[in-house]
Structure 1
Amino acid sequence: MGESVTERLALFPLGTVLFPGLVLPLHLFEERYRRLIADLLERPEPRGFGVVGIELGHEVGDGAAHRLAEVGCVAELREATPHPDGRYDVVTVGTRRFRLKELDRSRPYLQGEVEYLPEEPGADPGPIALRVRRLFRLYRHRLAAAGAASSELGEPPDDPVGLSYVIAASLILDGHDKQRLLECDDAALRLEAERDLLMRENGILDVLPMIPAGQFLDGSFNPN
């Protein structure tokens, strides 16, 4: 087997996890990220950068100690609205996952050599997909009963890969659980992990129906 093919990608460390298919709006005012968007806008479409989770510390300056997650997701730039003072409001959509192989800190913003990851359904995903759909329906019902206004979702897709990502993006989980779902090798494994998480969360909502879940719902992220 030959060596894996890598590509150079601009990186955006965030305290959240981006999944393929998830819309991610961002308000950018730090100089390095304004530069990142300006550089992207000079390139032909599609234009994308890598969103990687921060696993340790905080991205608050050049001297900040932090560890980036090994697996991230490309955010494809769909809209960019510049402001007179240099800020940008952008809308991105998660497209494909990558594994971060090497970091480059030579530019104002991080770049990395990344290897793109395949999207496989996995071994016999049908039965687990049916189970997860039922658990997810119950989860949304219990959230609504607890007064948490979850995001407007229609019926999740039939395709196991798409289903696994819609559910991963919709669950109210901490960053470690979200990152674990992003890193699953295939949809069947991701759906199995989601089954276990949904059983846990449904149990919590059943016992404590009034937990203040709304503050943790995925919405518009502001990284800086």
Structure 2
Amino acid sequence: MSARPETAVAAALPASSHKPSGPQSTLTRASRGQRGSCRWILQEGFAQRLGKDCSKVTKPAAAAPAHSTLCDISVVLPHVLHCRRLLLEGLGALVTTDVPLFPLSGLVMPGGLLPLRIFETRYHDMVRDCMRSGTGFVVTLSASGQETGRDVRPQEIGTYVEIIDFEALDHGFLGIVCRGQQRVRILTPHQTRAGLWLGDTAPYGDEPDGAVPESYEHLADLALQLVTELGPPFDLDAPQPQNARWVGSRLTELLPIPGSAKQQLLELRDPIARLHQIACFVQQMVRARPGS
């Protein structure tokens, strides 16, 4: 059994680092959640991408009477559906429909490796269908921060992954290793009766390659040390400690950073900006140790 991520982090950080207070296992599960919504339609920036036909969705509506506190859904819903249709038509072939979604407490970045232990029937079926069709699924952080209960739901940005290895485990469990392929935007998440999340997805966009600036070389050393310490499957690929995107991605996956901050790091399009934020987190971890 390879070293656990939290153990490797504690060993790799400087001597005055703060030990994580709880486990951050990558062998995890997702559970049921409530039906997603179309609130992404109303987010800033979509009206500009869709054109003037959708601009009225984000413009302030006429002032409502002082006594009115509720929005008339019969007025709003047609605009929401109209925007969704325009968005899907505009993206065209870039949209993939009904992709399985796996909300977790951890994430994987493009190029990263994620081992998972599958034991629920719905996810057994998902893995079987993916392997039969040669397709993957989307790993996303749980928007609620929980992995169990009806409040579990996917974030709007996740990583499309493909299964590269699997093995049958004891007690009917299934072990798989996934490789992150690309970041995607989840457009219309919804749950099946079996509890599996599905959603239409569109590419979120690539980010440029670039060298690690000298001021962040200590992060490259930390990422290399973590991957080496953890061993398989994290060390299956050749490390790229000179590549800013590789360094930032591995540290985002492996460091004990709060989930909301990890989501922000995932969504960044600038690898140098990601390194800057990670450097701040590492500095906070070092300072948090008593006596430092």
* TM-score, normalisation: structure 1: 0.72
Q: Which has the higher helix share?
A: 2
Gaps of 5+ in 2: 1-48, 50-88
Which residue of structure 2 lines up, in the alignment, with residue 21 of structure 1? 111
Report the secondary structure of 1:60's partner residue.
coil
Which residue of structure 2 lines up, in the alignment, with residue 216 of structure 1? none
Which residue of structure 2 lines up, in the alignment, with residue 103 of structure 1? 189
Which residue of structure 2 lines up, in the alignment, with residue 6 of structure 1? 95
1:86 shift after superposition: 4.2
Q: Structure 1's 169 and 59: CA in aligned 2 closer, same or farther, altered over 3 A? A: closer
Which residue of structure 2 lines up, in the alignment, with residue 166 of structure 1? 250
Task: Check whether the contact 1:81–1:90 (CA below 8 A) recurs between aligned residues.
Answer: yes
1-structure distance, mates of 2:288, 2:102: 38
Aligned sequence identity (%): 23
Matched AA of 2:215:
R
Task: Check whether the contact 1:78–1:93 (CA below 8 A) recurs between aligned residues.
Answer: yes
1:207 shift after superposition: 6.1
2-structure distance, mates of 1:99, 1:78: 23
Task: Find the partner of 1:30 among 91, 108, 120.
Answer: 120
Matched AA of 1:10:
P
Which residue of structure 2 lines up, in the alignment, with residue 41 of structure 1? 131
Q: Which has the larger radius of gyration?
A: 2
1:196 shift after superposition: 3.5
Which residue of structure 1 lines up, in the alignment, with residue 216 of structure 2? 132
Which residue of structure 2 lines up, in the alignment, with residue 214 of structure 1? none
Task: Find the partner of 2:277 among 163, 186, 196.
Answer: 196
Task: Find the partner of 2:200 among 89, 104, 113.
Answer: 113
Report the secondary structure of 2:257's partner residue.
coil
Which residue of structure 2 lines up, in the alignment, with residue 76 of structure 1? 162
1:132 shift after superposition: 2.1
Task: Check whether the contact 1:71–1:97 (CA below 8 A) recurs between aligned residues.
Answer: yes
Matched AA of 1:172:
P
Deviations 1:123-154 (A, max 9, x none): xx55x6332223553x579x99xxxx954678
Task: Check whether the contact 1:27–1:87 (CA below 8 A) recurs between aligned residues.
Answer: yes
Matched AA of 1:89:
G
Task: Check whether the contact 2:251–2:278 (CA below 8 A) recurs between aligned residues.
Answer: no
Superposition RMSD on alpha carbons, in Å?
3.3
Matched AA of 1:197:
I
Report the secondary structure of 2:179's partner residue.
strand
How many residues align structurally? 195
Report the secondary structure of 1:56's partner residue.
coil
Task: Check whether the contact 2:257–2:281 (CA below 8 A) recurs between aligned residues.
Answer: no
1:121 shift after superposition: 1.6
Q: Structure 1's 43 and 87: CA in aligned 2 closer, same or farther, altered over 3 A? A: same
Gaps of 5+ in 1: 212-224
Deviations 1:157-195 (A, max 9, x none): 4344333313322433111111111011232xxx22432
1:37 shift after superposition: 0.8
Q: Structure 1's 33 and 166: CA in aligned 2 closer, same or farther, altered over 3 A? A: same
Report the secondary structure of 2:175's partner residue.
strand
2-structure distance, mates of 1:210, 1:26: 37
